[in-house]
Amino acid sequence: MMTNKNSVLLLYTGGTIGMSENLCPMAFEQVQKLLPELEQTGVNITNFSFDPPIDSSDVDTDLWEKIARMIENNYDKFDGFVVLHGTDTMAYTASALSFMLENLAKPIILTGSQLRIGELRTDAKENLLNAIMLACGKNEFGEAMVPEVCVYFGDELYRGNRTTKKNAEHFSAFRSYNYPLLAKAGVHIKYFTSNIRYPDKSAKLCVRTKTDKNIAILKIFPGITQNAVSAVFSTTNLKAVVLESFGSGNVPQENTWFLNELKKAIDKKIIIVNKTQCNSGSVEMGRYPASQKLKDIGVISAYDCTTEAIVTKLMCLLGENKDLEKVNNLLKTDIAGEMTISDSE
């Protein structure tokens, strides 16, 4: 239910949606000219552009911090927030924001497009206009329908920290493999309320933006060498590694060097999180002998988290906490709807 008083803060970071014909990011004023429909939404839209607009391949943690602070500083003035962002790293930004903004009670909708806004068949219009409507969608009590950090793309609304960019070409570019949709935009916007997280109404927004980037991803494959593995663990200042394992969390065990490298790293207080290379399903350490040993040496399960979510969760937890024990405990906790903890482990 919407009234004319709805207001949205539109944060423009760049991406294809706002690129010119020669694929250079345009200023938001040019984007606005190509989308006169923004006026017709009946929503009071205020925009802010990050300068310069960027291809999202250049996103770094400082942009996440700036977006989070913009939202914090304008939180009471708007019903919701839309972040225009390149698709390439949108799932990382959405995940990071979900960890930075605790007790969120307003929608933050990230969107972008596969085709530039000026192109004939562009998906930018649909995505942006629907994102604005979703950002100010309220129930009969005037409360936000989706008080979460979300990604809206190709008529589907996803929990941001469950998304992955799955297609470099299709209009349906994102997918949430392990969590159902929050809403679908057809003739009407249909909300799936039982999938949406609602905050504790008495809790206030708490913004934490410190990050620590000293992490690495180690994706294993048959034939991986000890040199390659130990090079990752020898990274200067390394604090944590996301181990991308096979299937339900399995790793080679016949070559004892592999587990020894991991054990040595854990002894040096490097956190290792086990994330499956599969898009769907969960890590289940102990289901096979090939993963039981990981559990025994202190590797932590990422359950059904996306790589984007576990990487940004680690950055945020390590940035905010000096106590390793606390980080370990929070890694095992679902803090922003990012994972489903299974009982089988």
Binding interface with ligand ASP (CB under 6 A): 15-16, 55-57, 86-88, 112, 114
Alpha helical stretches, state H, the chain: 28-33, 61-74, 90-100, 124-135, 226-233, 256-267, 289-297, 307-320, 324-331
Nearest-approach distance from CB 293 to ligand ASP, in angstroms: 39
Give SS3 for 149: strand
Give the E-state strand segments of the chain in sequence order: 7-14, 44-54, 80-84, 101-102, 108-111, 149-153, 156-159, 164-165, 174-175, 183-185, 189-191, 206-207, 215-219, 240-245, 271-276, 300-301
57, 54, 72: which is closest to 18 by C-alpha?
54
**Location of structure tokens 């003035």:** 77
Of 3, 13, 16, 256, which one is the catalytic site residue? 16
Alpha-carbon distance of 39 to 265, in angstroms, equals 56
Nearest-approach distance from CB 33 to ligand ASP, in angstroms: 19
Pick 40 or 57: Cβ nearer ligand ASP: 57
Nearest-approach distance from CB 48 to ligand ASP, in angstroms: 18
Pick 10 or 43: Cβ nearer ligand ASP: 10
118, 157, 106: which is closest to 33 by C-alpha?
118
DSSP state of 77: G
Pick 55 or 119: Cβ nearer ligand ASP: 55
Residue 192: count other Cβ atoms within 10 Å of its Cβ: 13
Pick 19 or 339: Cβ nearer ligand ASP: 19
Nearest-approach distance from CB 332 to ligand ASP, in angstroms: 32
Nearest-approach distance from CB 279 to ligand ASP, in angstroms: 20
Nearest-approach distance from CB 152 to ligand ASP, in angstroms: 14
- Closest residue (Cβ) to ligand ASP? 86
Pick 76 or 169: Cβ nearer ligand ASP: 169
Both tokens assigned to 210: 């410190």
Alpha-carbon distance of 167 to 188, in angstroms, equals 26
In sequence order, the β-bridge partners of residue 231 are none
Pick 67 or 265: Cβ nearer ligand ASP: 67
Answer yes or no: 307 catalytic: no
In sequence order, the β-bridge partners of residue 276 are 245
The catalytic site residues sit at: 16
